[in-house]
Amino acid sequence: LRTTLSFLSPKDLYTAPDSCRGRCEEPYNEEDECHCNAECERYHNCCEDYYTRCQAEGFSSSWDAITDEDLLRISEQLYKADHNKARPTDIAINPQYQASPDETGDREDRSPQPLYKYVNEELFSKPTYASFIKLLDNYQRATGREEEVTAEELREQDNFLKEVMKTELMKKLFAFLHKKNRYDSEQEFVADLKEMWFGLYSRGNGEQDSSGFEHVFSGRARTGGTGGAGQRRAGGLTPGSRLCLGEVKKGKVSGFHNWIRFYLLEKQGIVNYFSHNFDGPWDTYPEVLGLQFSWDGFYKEVGSAFIGSSPEFEFGLYTLCFIARPGRACHLSLGGYSLSIQTYTWTKSTYGNGKNYIATAYVISP
């Protein structure tokens, strides 16, 4: 890969779906809002900044673009670098009933037994797991309530980032993004991770009540009235989007895509597993499961999640896709099998010089 000597302004760190920033010569994809290769001139579907950004000397030169092939290659590298993932003997799950598409919304418990038969909790003593678990009790479940971040919680965030950055997986991710001219130093990368994942924004009525980390890994439940929630946009997300997005109707769970969080709550009897609608093709961990469940009475219709992955694996893949393909399907390869991740940006507020927080990230299951 070619070394790039130019420096970026903070707003240039992300690939925007309606811009050619970091996308010059990117292959055609029908999901894209506009396009950034030579063919777009012929078909009159170039992004507005195509002519200003797609120059050999600019940030968006072809060696800076994160191509589909790059994503397949780096995701396989991250998959192989997940040394802290669960071994086959560490977890035993009992998926039981597989729900059809017509059955996922009926709220019927078709699986009398818990999802997790066994988890080797020695996993949780590993530094990245232990620091991750400490973060899970830092958040209020309901939207619309101001989060009070203590000094101890800020230290826990810093400790989690410190531990994940010690791993080969996150070092490989940084090296990839550095070569693609997204970050100049590891320090800059870590500082941005803290803002994009832990920075607070409002999903309610102005209260700083949510963050990308809370939404994706911890989950939320909206306990108030619907108030037309189904008709409103959530930070730029369109009405009718999947239930794992930011704003949800009364009685349904928002976010909550992490297997460790699910296991700990199921063990306490707070989560009740109903069924699954998708079981991935992997014969080892990490695996992917699409599942239905209730959380203390609140329902999740489709909650896709990795099973048996390390915290840094999920954190790293979601970060990669948020930077490379925000607002679009991000197509990856894990162990020779295809997988796609969807991320969305929170557009109602920004940090730094116009950078976006993570609104949500999840595995796309059929």
Per-residue pLDDT of 142-176, as tens digits, reads 444 445 678 898 999 999 999 999 999 999 999 99
Among the residue ranges 23-32, 49-58, 147-156, 293-302, the one predicted with the least confidence is 49-58
Res 139: pLDDT? 52
DSSP one-letter string for 176-230? HHHHTTS-SSHHHHHHHHHHHHH--B-SSSS---B-HHIIIII-EE--S--TTGG
CA-to-CA distance for 201 and 203, rounded, in angstroms? Answer: 7
Among the residue ranges 10-14, 30-34, 260-264, 313-317, the one predicted with the least confidence is 10-14
Of the segments 60-69, 255-264, 278-287, which one has the largest average pLDDT value? 278-287
Mean pLDDT of the chain: 81
pLDDT of 185 higher than 90: yes
Res 306: pLDDT? 95
* Three-point CA angle 72, 323, 183, nearest 5°: 105
Mean pLDDT of 222-243: 34
pLDDT in tens, 52-74: 777 544 444 556 789 999 999 99
Q: Which residue do the tokens 């990368």 mark?
A: 189
pTM of the model: 0.76
pLDDT in tens, 92-144: 999 999 999 999 989 999 999 999 999 999 999 999 999 999 998 755 444 44
Res 295: pLDDT? 87
Domain ranges, ordered by start, for the chain: 18-56, 68-221+244-364
CA-to-CA distance for 92 and 104, rounded, in angstroms? Answer: 23
Residues serving a catalytic function are 215, 257, 300
Structure-token pair, residue 232 = 């409103």
pLDDT of 237 higher than 60: no
CA-to-CA distance for 279 and 71, rounded, in angstroms? Answer: 23
Q: Left (φ > 0), alpha (ψ -120 to 50) or beta: where does 129 sit?
A: alpha
Q: Which residue do the tokens 């030169």 mark?
A: 61
Res 91: pLDDT? 98
Cβ-based neighbours of 2, under 8 Å, separated by 6 or more: 63
Res 234: pLDDT? 33
For residue 276, the cross-strand partners are: 98, 291
Task: Just give the CATH number of 18-56.
Answer: 4.10.410
Res 19: pLDDT? 85
pLDDT of 361 higher than 50: yes
